[in-house]
Amino acid sequence: MPVIDIHNHFFPNSWPDLAARYGTPNWPWIKHTEPGKADIMVGERFFRHIYSACWDPEARLQEMDRDGVDVQVMSATPVLFAYERPVEHALDCARMFNDAALEICSRGKSRLKSLCQVPLQDVDAACKELSRCMRSGHLGVQIGNHVGSKNLDDVGIVTFLQHCADEGAAVLVHPWEMFGRERMPKYMMPWTVGMPAETQLSVVAMILSGAFDRLPGTLRICFAHGGGSFAFLLGRLENAWHHHPVARGECQHPPSYYLNRLYVDSAVFDQRSLQFLVGTMGADRVMLGSDYPFPLGEERVGSLIRQSNLSQDAKGKLLRRNAARFLGLRVESQGVADTRSGAPEPERLTYSSYLKVPELLELQQPQSVPQHHDELLFILVHQTYELWFKELLHDLDAVVANLRKAGATPQSHDEVYEAARLLRRCTEITRVLVEQFTILETMLPTHFLAFRGLLEPASGFQSEQFREIEFLCGLKDEKMLRYHQPTAEAYASLKRRLEEPSLHDVFFGALQAMGKLPPASEGATERERFEARARAVHELYKDEHHHRDWIDVCERLTEFDELVVSWRLRHIQLVERIIGIRMGTGGSTGASYLKLTLDKKFFPELWEARTLLTE
Ligand code: HEM
């Protein structure tokens, strides 16, 4: 997968005289000073030295190769935003630079992509230009972090952000027009002090105003320069939120709850800062952003991340995977960056690298701030269950495959033995799963309630693998799909399970192939079919001498059924012990709902057959 830099800038080689075009002074223009070099001027004022990488794709690609960067997503610069100008001028200017960006990208050998700019002072015009740009090939938009005195929680700007979510446009928020400039006349302080504070202000405004509550989770928004001072001062914000009602704003949750609603880039230029940023935001939320090729940009793009002590997995997320998600890119190839000459030799396998221990140990990310002692246990126990669910699905799929083969070749017994052997593993795993609840019961109810509120609306209902196990074994309930609608992948897997023959179907299919279960007549009722299946099992048990292998499968399936009911019962006991008769975070009536599931059986015919047996 390629290395992607999501924050860097371009200037076209030339553009019309905007002051003459609009009849207003102080527009930016480019003054070429010597081959490959230029100055950006704003009216008569010098603004910035730039060089050919800003406008020449060849020069840019060469430096990308030097730095091991595969894709750059370029934006114009805030000096071109023109939010304070008449909207028709700002729109015309935006169109000009948006089209220029695409022209540079077209010569970038598919390695240059772009974010557009819009006249954000006018929501309608901004939405229309965004839509036009998305249709013409931009991946999203770069916006300034305010429009005059309007912060990002302004109703119009929130409407625009909603439109970005609808269009699937990635949003990069860049600080500009820093406040307090009169107190920062020297030393680039507007950039080093003003910009981080501006960005922090924007994130905080979005959180406390409830903008994130109103905007859909599909909005992909990133704040430049590591999110400014936001991450470092999150504790201060959180403290104010918890202890001072006046500091709470209108958001439904504490500020830290919203961390997974935003991305930040990695432009912090210091290892400790990067480590801290990843620790606070999570490795899924930080992306390579270099500010290349401007003077305050990263000199060797990506070196901060590459030289960090982050795990390989986290580096992969920061350099590639998070950006692909943020940009909505489907990046499928294994990536040139990892295979080009000069890439490090593959490391020799160790215990840690084989088992991915560092990555595994990074996967526990408590929500409570300050962290509640027991939240780690809560996360670990659930993750352990999910890992065992994974193994159960793996083994149950193999059981299905073996029983299918057994049905196809009734004279062969190997597959039946193999199915029984694997089912024994499933029962042993489930026995462990029943036992594990006791570990969670060492958590006092008060301790769980201290952080339970942060988990909503997450719920066990959303355990995709648990539901897959149910569907795979034959307990299919289409209604349960609704809990997985937000996650396309989970929804698709469950839909597939719903449509596939279950373990139950395949087991009785095999008995039919063996001649133990006569094909049901067309008009047979469900009850008659059920009784016929129970009689087929009864037949097996009556002829132990010939069907020892199949009886073994039946016993294992019965035991598995029994243990899953035990799991349900222990889960209910745990729920009652920890939250009493409270409602569940998934919206059910809690323990009383769960009690209804106790009657569920995967293989009721195996139980019915017991009644049919005579002395
Ligand atoms: C403090 C501990 C726990 C509490 C208070 C709790 C509570 C609940 C509640 C109330 C429900 C009903 C659905 C809802 O409205 O949210 C539920 C469902 C569920 N929980 Fe838990 N749970 C706990 C631990 C666990 C653990 C450790 C697992 C392990 C995977 C788990 C897996 C599930 C599953 C799979 C469901 C769906 C069950 C079904 O639909 O039949 N829960 N839980």
User: 213-247, pLDDT tens digit by residue?
Assistant: 999 999 999 999 999 999 999 999 999 999 998 89
With a 6 Å cutoff on the Cβ, whether 433 touches ligand 1 is no
Q: Where are the alpha helices (DSSP H) in 33-122?
A: 57-67, 87-106
Tokens standing for 501? Answer: 């023959």
Q: Shortest CA distance to 79 belongs to which of 109, 108, 39, 112?
A: 39
| Predicted confidence (pLDDT) at residue 338 exceeds the cutoff of 80 | no
**Amino acid letter, residue 52:** S
pLDDT digits (tens, 9 = 90+) for 119-133: 999 999 999 999 999
Tell me which residue of 80, 101, 12 sits closest to 50, measured CA to CA.
12
Tell me how far apart the alpha carbons of residues 514 and 407 are, in angstroms, rounded to a whole number: 7
Query: Who's near 101: CB < 8 A, 6+ residues apart?
Result: 10, 74, 75, 76, 114, 116, 138
pLDDT at 204: 98
Q: Does residue 218 contact residue 196 with C-beta atoms inside 8 Å?
A: no
pLDDT of residue 19: 96
- Rg of the chain on CA atoms, in Å: 30
Ligand 1 atom index nearest CA of 381: 27
Pocket-testing residue among 430, 439, 459, 480, ligand 1, by greatest number of atoms within 8 A of Cβ: 459
Q: Is 384 in the pocket of ligand 1 (CB under 6 A)?
A: no
Give, rounded to a whole angstrom, the gap between the first and last alpha carbons of the chain: 66
pLDDT value at position 350?
A: 85
pLDDT digits (tens, 9 = 90+) for 451-471: 999 998 899 999 999 999 999
Q: Is 586 in the pocket of ligand 1 (CB under 6 A)?
A: yes
Q: What percent of the chain has pLDDT above 70?
A: 97
Q: Is the pLDDT of residue 341 over 70?
A: no
Percent of the chain residues topping a pLDDT of 90: 87
What per-residue confidence (pLDDT) applies to 371?
86
Q: What is the pLDDT of residue 360?
A: 85
Asked whether 466 lines ligand 1 (CB < 6 A), one says yes
Q: What is the pLDDT of residue 339?
A: 30
Model confidence at 505, pLDDT cuts 50, 70, 90, reads very high
Residues 6+ away with beta carbon under 8 Å from 449: 579
How high is the pLDDT of residue 365?
86
pLDDT bin (cut points 50, 70, 90) of residue 337 is very low
Structure tokens at 205: 């405004």
Largest pairwise CA distance in the chain: 106
**Token digits of residue 70:** 């595969």
- Strands, E, within 69-217: which ranges? 71-75, 112-116, 140-144, 170-174
* Ligand 1 midpoint to CA 565 (Å): 14
Beta carbons within 10 angstroms of residue 514's beta carbon? 17
Task: Tell me the mean pLDDT in the region 70-74.
Answer: 97
Distance from the alpha carbon of residue 567 to the mean position of ligand 1, in angstroms: 11
Q: Where are the beta strands (DSSP E) in 409-511?
A: none
Ligand 1 pocket, 571 CB below 6 A?
A: yes
CA of 582 to the centre of ligand 1 (A): 12
Ligand 1 atom with the shortest distance to the CA of 385: 30
Taking phi first (over 0 means left), then psi (-120 to 50 degrees means alpha), and beta for anything else, what does residue 532 get?
alpha
| 100 vs 476: CA distance, rounded Å | 54
Residue 345 pLDDT: 39
Please give the backbone phi and psi of residue 483, each rounded to the nearest 5 degrees, phi first.
-70, -10
pLDDT at 336 over 70: no
Q: Is it the case that residue 483 has pLDDT exceeding 70?
A: yes
Lookup result for tokens 């047979």: 524
Which one, of 144, 147, 133, lies nearest residue 172 by Cα? 144
Question: What is the distance in A from the centroid of ligand 1 to the CA of 585?
Answer: 9
461 C-alpha vs ligand 1 centroid, how far in Å?
Answer: 7
Q: What are all long-range contacts of 510-515, with beta carbons under 8 Å and residues at least 24 apart? A: 510/403, 510/404, 510/406, 510/407, 510/410, 511/536, 511/537, 511/540, 511/550, 512/407, 512/536, 513/407, 513/408, 513/410, 514/407, 514/410, 515/410
**Ligand 1 lined by 483 (C-beta under 6 Å):** no
Is the distance from the beta carbon of residue 71 to the nearest atom of ligand 1 less than 6 Å? no
- Mean pLDDT for 463-482 is 97
Q: Which of 461, 449, 453 is nearest to 586 (CA)?
A: 461
* Token output for 533: 């299946």
- The DSSP H or E segment spanning 584 is none
Its pTM surpasses 0.75: no
Mean pLDDT check: name the lowest of 294-303, 331-340, 575-584, 585-594. Answer: 331-340
In tens, the pLDDT along 1-25 reads 789 999 999 999 999 999 999 999 9
Beta strand spans in 96-253 (E):
112-116, 140-144, 170-174, 221-223
Residue type, 136: S
> Amino acid letter at 397?
D
| CA of 246 relative to ligand 1 center, distance in Å | 36
